[in-house]
Chains A and B, each alone.
Chain A
């Protein structure tokens, strides 16, 4: 049974059909949120919240887009809100600043692990760029799908992706030179 039929059944109140939808999409939704937030526990919480929110709003889903697109839209919005709250609290959330912070001695030590460098730098990207980078590189979505999920235009999504890559590459190279 495909998503469309499962959604139709779930909209009639069939919780088993919805459970099947959760089963099908939960790993990917979690992974997407983990990539965007880089926080395992937060991603788990948001995954649960996304599925509960989607259930609550399921009657409003008119099946004009794929269920996964609609679900990602809910999940990514939740991630945005969580990251924004984190940033306002002064946590490790992203920054819109364009400066390239100089690596500290601790950062240099951690730089031995390229993946860790990348994770740390991604956390410094603005929420929009983090989401676009994840949806484009990991989920492999088209700019049209990304725009639909993020509520923006294809052009804006493309520009965000290119800006993110440019910044990450600059940071990456500066880390490499500092080693």
Chain B
């Protein structure tokens, strides 16, 4: 920047103009003080930004007022979209599904696995026979999580419309928010027993892995 013959780059000038009220790069400011060519380029960009900031043609107040009337009329005649809040049960479904799949993959007795597959612990290195199963299961869990956020799917799974179940104002947790299995277990244990049973029943009826395979 302080070299006598090096002019500012376009990016340096753009950033300097764009910084506006923020503290500007002192080296650029110093260069501009003594370099007429860069000053001219900078004022060109400055003029462009000023032109861009010009007020658009205003619309007459009467037209604005008429539009406001139309908006108000439309507002009075239209119902608002209901809030898509999920019940505690449907919030938990994706998280529990993911945990269940992980448990199936990691801790299921070896005898229940099909021949040729192995647990991660059995496999010292990445095993091409095992990996697709894990990948598919992870994808299945993600799909279940995404599907559970859709009102139609929630309705299908819990037997009532999400609009009917305005329970606590909580957002559905993302899967990665539930990475701590102890916390997951504790939170699950705190659910009402009927919800725990319903979730487990629903999980038992879903074949995640087969659903994920095309």
Q: What residues of chain A have their CB less than 8 Å away from a CB belonging to chain B? A: 13, 15, 18-19, 22-23, 26-27, 30-31, 34-35, 40, 44, 47-48, 51-52, 55-60, 114-115, 118, 122, 133-134, 136-138, 140, 158, 161-162, 165-166, 168-169, 172-173
Closest 4 CB pairs of A and B: A137-B52, A34-B56, A137-B53, A59-B83
B54 at the interface (CB under 8 A from A): yes
Known contacts A60-B84, A165-B49, A169-B44; A30 and B59 CB within 8 A of each other: yes
Report A-chain residues with C-beta under 8 Å of the C-beta of B71. Answer: 19, 22, 26, 48, 51-52
Residues on B with beta carbons closer than 8 Å to the beta carbon of A133: 52
Q: Is the CB of A40 within 8 A of B72?
A: no
Q: Which of B73-81, B92-100, B120-128, B200-208 makes up part of the contact surface? A: B73-81
Whole-angstrom distance between the alpha carbons of A115 and B54 in the complex?
Answer: 9
Closest to A57 in B: B81
CB pair B74 A26 closer than 8 Å: no
CB distance from A162 to the nearest CB of B (A): 5
B64 at the interface (CB under 8 A from A): yes
CA distance A58 to B81 in the complex (A): 8
Q: For residue A33, which residue of chain B has the nearest CB?
A: B56
Q: Could you say which residues of chain B place their CB within 8 Å of the CB of A44? A: 59, 63, 67
CB-CB < 8 A to A118: which residues of B?
Answer: 48, 51-52
Q: How far is the CA of A161 from the CA of B15 in the complex (A)?
A: 10
Say if the beta carbon of B177 comes within 8 Å of chain A: no
A40 contacts B14, CB within 8 Å? no
| Docked-complex contact A55 and B56, CB < 8 angstroms | no
Q: Contact check, A15 vs B75: say whether CB atoms are below 8 A apart.
A: yes
A169 CB → nearest B CB, Å: 6
A154 CB to closest chain B CB, in angstroms? 12
By a CB distance below 8 angstroms, the chain B residues around A57 are: 80-81
* Chain A to chain B contacts (Cβ below 8 Å), 11 pairs: A15-B72, A18-B72, A31-B55, A44-B59, A51-B71, A52-B74, A114-B51, A133-B52, A162-B14, A169-B48, A172-B48
